[in-house]
Amino acid sequence: MPPLPQRITYRVAVEKSPGMLGAMVTAIDRSGAEVVATARTSEQRHVVFRDVTVEVRDEIHADEVAATLVELEGVELLAITDEVLAAHDRGKIRVEVTREVDGPGDLSLVYTPGVAKVCRIIADNPVAAYRLTIKSNAVAVITDGSAVLGLGDIGPLASLPVMEGKAMLLKSFGDVDAYPILVDEQDPDTFVDTVARIAGGFGGINLEDISAPRCFEIEGKLRQRLDIPVFHDDQHGTAIVVLSALMNAAKVVDRELGSLRVVVQGIGAAGVAIINLLRAAGIDDIVPVDIDGIVEPRRKAGLDPIRRRVAKQTNPRELSGDKAVALEGADVFIGVSGPNTLPLELVRTMSEDRIVFAMANPTPEIHPDVARGHVRVMATGRSDFPNQINNVLAFPGLFRGLLDAAATAVTDEMKVAAAEGIASIVGDDLADDYIVPSPFDRSVVPVVAQAVAATARAQGHVRPGSQGSLETETEAAEQQAAQRAVQRAIARQFSGEAHAD
């Protein structure tokens, strides 16, 4: 598969001569690139300054286009801007204040002496931090940089653009204040201890890009130590969206979810989480496979502790052998493994209404063009094909709901509720090529948030005394009125003192 195209902007000075712009565009076209935009920025007596945005194959191709412009008579190349680098210039997030400080009165309220009263309130009742500080809307996006996208172990600093991106999406989609936290430590116990020591200022923890199997140990130990939700998005975000897509795919093929025979290929972080959530949703016939074949207890090769546990919990028909055995008669293939690892001849051995989620990125286990006509429902992780399985459908709404409820944990029931919420957005528009909503559908987050918050409250996994644990709108209104009264009292007390100074 060819690499994904990149966009480069070339700033040029073009002589004011008839046909010069056309000649430049023609030269770029001949170099194999495509001009997608051109904008006049300014002009002088004899030249026009333009920004020409060009779609190129890769960095080498970008250099070739630049050389073409340098050699073109009547055109001077002034600057080159990589669209990706420009989008990351000085970072993608920032801190903003919720109240301006315009004079002594404001300062006395938000800092000294007013802040001392708030500190005493929290010291006496720590739950008050949920209404008097940012804690109620704050999530830490934490990584060690050991499994970043397709780049592998590049270290925490190099992972910062990804963590910024996750924080940006949490804010843009869920209005969650998220902060990238880089932990330069790969010993699981030390990592856990570090995170536990800084967790007090946050209402939730989003673990990101941590390699397996360490990620399982880290998440488990943090859940035991902390009284706020801990969520590893690479595991559970993927699992939630897969489950939501499968819920709707089952409807497309007119099957009950629990009746499906499912093969999951790839027993890493995402694969294990998918298996666990599918089981929680009522699917029993799940056969896990990896590079050595079916993961089952009798197998001698490649059975680490995680795979042993998966083997004991799955494969009720006790299949053994290679992937071909697992796929024969299967209804669903879910791939979170590697590119081009699902041959078409094996797809043809599956049941008649085949469901294939090939989510290796950017090259799926089987390309949709290859599978077309042989698969009833096809999904990938890519945005250029229908049915994109994208974590952004899950984590903004999930954290919005967890924070709204002041939840103390994330449970399987909450994840299933999130999946049901995502699936419900599709509604009557359900079709083979539309089983999940677009990641840009702004109706997803409130639906998911409401489902998650309601489940958290129903299960009792909310902080006693916090606004999130209130059971009725009347109680919520009373709580808000009391908060406003406290704020007015603080304002009256300290604004007078500040003006007197």
Q: Which domains does the chain have, with CATH numbers?
A: 6-87 (3.30.70.260), 125-228 (3.40.50.10380), 246-458 (3.40.50.720)
- Give whichever of 21-25, 140-144, 464-468, 477-481 has the largest mean pLDDT: 140-144
Q: How would residue 5 be classed by pLDDT, with cut points 50, 70 and 90?
A: confident
Q: Which residues, at least 6 apart from 190, have a Cβ–Cβ distance to it below 8 Å? A: none
Residue 96 clears pLDDT 60, i.e. is over it? yes
Alpha helices in 343-411 (DSSP H): 344-347, 368-371, 395-404
Question: Can you read off the two tokens belonging to residue 216?
Answer: 């399982």
Closest residue by Cα to residue 333 from 284, 296, 380, 390: 380
Query: In this predicted structure, what is the pLDDT of residue 66?
Result: 94
Q: Among all residues, which ones are annotated catalytic?
A: 111, 166
* CA–CA distance, 88 with 93 (Å, rounded to integer): 10
Rounded mean pLDDT, 224-250: 97
Residue 298: Cβ-neighbour burial (10 angstroms; 0-12, 13-18, 19+): exposed
Residue 469 clears pLDDT 70, i.e. is over it? no
Residue pLDDT, tens place only, 31-50: 999 999 999 999 888 899 99
Q: How would residue 312 be classed by pLDDT, with cut points 50, 70 and 90?
A: very high
What is the value of pTM for the model shown? 0.84
Rounded mean pLDDT, 139-144: 98
* CA–CA distance, 142 with 397 (Å, rounded to integer): 19
* CA–CA distance, 377 with 352 (Å, rounded to integer): 11
Q: How would residue 376 be classed by pLDDT, with cut points 50, 70 and 90?
A: very high
* CA–CA distance, 424 with 147 (Å, rounded to integer): 32
